[in-house]
Each structure stands twice: as C-alpha cells, then as structure tokens.
Amino acid sequence: MVTEPMPNDLAELYARPGFLLRRAHQISAAIFEDECRSVGLTPAQFGVLSVLRASPGLDQSSLARALGFDKVTVLRVLRGLETRGLIERSPAPASRRNLSISLSGVGLALLKQAQEPAELAYDRLMGPLNSAQQEQLVELLQALTSGLEGDARAAFVPPGQKTGQPA
C-alpha cells in the first residue's frame, strides 16, 4: 500500500539549493518574458543581443562562451534572431571558415527599446529583497558559479578573456 506523502516529507527537497535555483530561474524567465513581451525577446535573445552590442563581430563559439551557452543553444537563438533581421553574419576577417556575427540596425534599435522592460523585469525579480539582500544574493550567486565553473557543461568566458583565466 502506497501512502500519500506528507508535506513535511517534501521539506528537505524544497529546501535543496538545486530545487530553489531551478524554481528561481523559472520565475526569472517568466518575469522577463512578461515584461519584454512588447519587444518579443526571451532572456537568451536579450543576452545574445547585449553581448553582440558590447563585442561586435564575435564568432559563434566565442558568443556561446560569453553567455555560458552550448553551441546548439546559441545556434538556435542565432537562427531566430537572423530570421527576424536582428543580426547579420559575414565571413570573419581572420578566417573565412568562421562567421562574424553583429547586430543589424534593426537589432540595435530593438535592444535599445528592450532596455526599459528588461530593467523593469530586474526590479520586479529583486523586489522581494531589500538592497542589502539584493547585493548579497548577487555576491553569493557569483561565488557559487565561479567556485563551480569547472563542473559546468558549457564554458563561460567573457569576451576578450582567454580560456582558463578567472572570470
């Protein structure tokens, strides 16, 4: 006979960092998509456009590392952005086999338009915390991610940094 789980039986699961991080990510993505519905951007698309604005001409692999994405994910996001005319790909100057990716004029305009809703999403996400808690949360997440970077499935290397340097 199987008994129904008691709520207390789940307290340990619900207090696990992995469970809480996954749930926080779900909420974060939902808030971002809600606030940015008018510009039609997902968090991943916003990230790609932001990196390309800061570092135009990156190749696909460097772009993936700049966001901690795997190559399949960045390819999928790039295809969607290219279909919408938000990015342009051209042969890289250093190697004709690689493609250089840049924002189009339309992509830059949309990214500028997305700044206010993205900021509203950030404020909404952090709203339940006071300013000291917000700062502490970011510091703790940075410590966690940098301390466990070696366990990540996809490398994170900000543009301009060589692989293996601390982020």
Tokens of 96: 């004709």
Domain membership of residue 64 as a residue range: 15-123
Q: What is the pLDDT of residue 92?
A: 75
Asked if residue 20 belongs to a domain, the reply is: yes
Q: What is the pLDDT of residue 137?
A: 98
**From first to last of its 167 residues, what are the pLDDT tens digits of the chain?**
556 666 677 899 999 999 999 999 999 999 999 999 999 999 999 999 999 999 999 999 999 999 999 989 999 999 999 999 999 998 877 766 778 999 999 999 999 999 999 999 999 999 999 999 999 999 999 999 999 999 999 999 999 887 655 55
Residue 77: exposure state from Cβ atoms within 10 A (0-12, 13-18, ≥19): buried
Q: What is the pLDDT of residue 93?
A: 75
Backbone angles phi, psi at 14, to 5 degrees: -70, -15
CB 102 within 8 A of CB 52: yes
Tokens of 74: 């960045």
Rounded Cα distance, 60 and 98, in Å: 8
Asked if residue 57 belongs to a domain, the reply is: yes
Asked if residue 1 belongs to a domain, the reply is: no
Q: Most distant CA pair in the chain: distance in Å?
A: 68
> What H or E segment, with its residue span, contains residue 141?
helix 131-147
Asked if residue 29 belongs to a domain, the reply is: yes
CATH code assigned at 62: 1.10.10.10
- Distances from the Cα of 129 to the Cα of 33, 106, 132, 134, 143, angstroms: 21, 36, 8, 6, 19
Number of folded domains that form the chain: 1
Asked if residue 89 belongs to a domain, the reply is: yes
Asked if residue 10 belongs to a domain, the reply is: no
Q: What is the pLDDT of residue 165?
A: 54
Rounded Cα distance, 114 and 121, in Å: 11
Asked if residue 27 belongs to a domain, the reply is: yes
Q: What is the pLDDT of residue 5?
A: 61
CB 35 within 8 A of CB 29: no
Q: Sign (positive/negative) of CA torsion 61, 63, 66, 71?
A: negative
Rounded Cα distance, 85 and 104, in Å: 7
Which value, to the nearest 10 degrees, does the dihedral of the CA atoms of residues 140, 141, 145, 146 take? Answer: -50
Say what the pTM is.
Answer: 0.87
Asked if residue 130 belongs to a domain, the reply is: no
